[in-house]
Amino acid sequence: MVDFLGFLPVVGWAFVDWLKLFIAPLKNFEMLWIIIPIWGVWLFSEFFQEKKGTSFGNAITNGATMVFVGVDWTRYVIRQISAGSASLGADSVTKMGLAAAIIILGAFIIVMGIKARSFVRLIGRVRETTYLMLMFSPVVYNVVELTLRNIAVILAFFPLFYILIEVLDKVLPTPHMFELEEEEMLDKEISGKGAAGTGGVGLSGLGSDFGSDVFGAGRQNPQFGSQFGLPQQPQQYPQQQKGKRLF
């Protein structure tokens, strides 16, 4: 029989370690230089752009953010090596590998977003990209070691992070801007259907005196002539017969 009571403390300590990853910038204030923009981009994108889903444009922007963060990680590691604070060993190579991985993933999201591949709206969502950058930034900035246990904690608690953000999206009120955008889209759709249904504005829609009366064999407007004292029907003249003269 599985000892669930013995398993709970393990989960509890793992949860505590997971929470420590979020407060890791407090142990190295230099990391705030990159963490604050990550949190800021996530906050505005999550609740003001991606509250109802991720567009290709949002995914491309999120991929670009990952590229910039990866470049900053690379800059930090190189600076540490140049200053003598770190050696060019396995630890530095691992951090450079993380930076390269985040850059490659960001570039992949950008390219797939430009090609309008549908899956990029899932892997390029801001909450996923933000989670990766938040979790591995403490590793690059020498606050947390990259161990198998920490990797397992990061992966295991990702669903919890996703669900919490989803609940926040449902609980928080929808910004008024979304309603305005939906109304504008509805107006454009209605006007588009109207133009498609009528085939545009035809000449016949300009009035009964235009359209086929001008450009085709016409129908007569009986009121037009009567207003000026003219006969309502055209006069009929006798046809000229062959061999006979009228005068």
pLDDT reported for residue 234: 52
pLDDT per residue as tens, the chain (247 positions) = 445 455 567 788 889 889 999 998 888 888 888 899 999 989 888 887 787 778 899 999 999 999 999 999 999 999 989 888 878 888 899 999 999 999 999 999 999 999 999 999 889 999 999 999 999 999 999 898 888 999 999 999 999 999 999 898 888 877 666 667 666 666 676 776 665 555 544 444 444 444 444 444 444 454 545 455 545 555 554 555 544 444 4
Instruction: Give the per-residue pLDDT at 117.
Output: 93
pLDDT on residue 218: 46
Got the DSSP string for the chain?
Answer: ---HHHHHHHHHHHHHHHHHHHSGGGG-GGGHHHHHHHHHHHHHHHHHTSTT---HHHHHHHHHHHHHHHHHHHHHHHHHHHHTSS-SSHHHHHHHHHHHHHHHHHHHHHHHHHTT-TTHHHHT-HHHHHHHHHHHHHHHTTSS---HHHHHHHHHTHHHHHHHHHHHHHHSPPPHHHHHHHHHHHHHHHHHHHHHHHTS--GGGG-TTSTHHHHSSPPP-HHHHHTTT--SSPPP-PPPPTT----
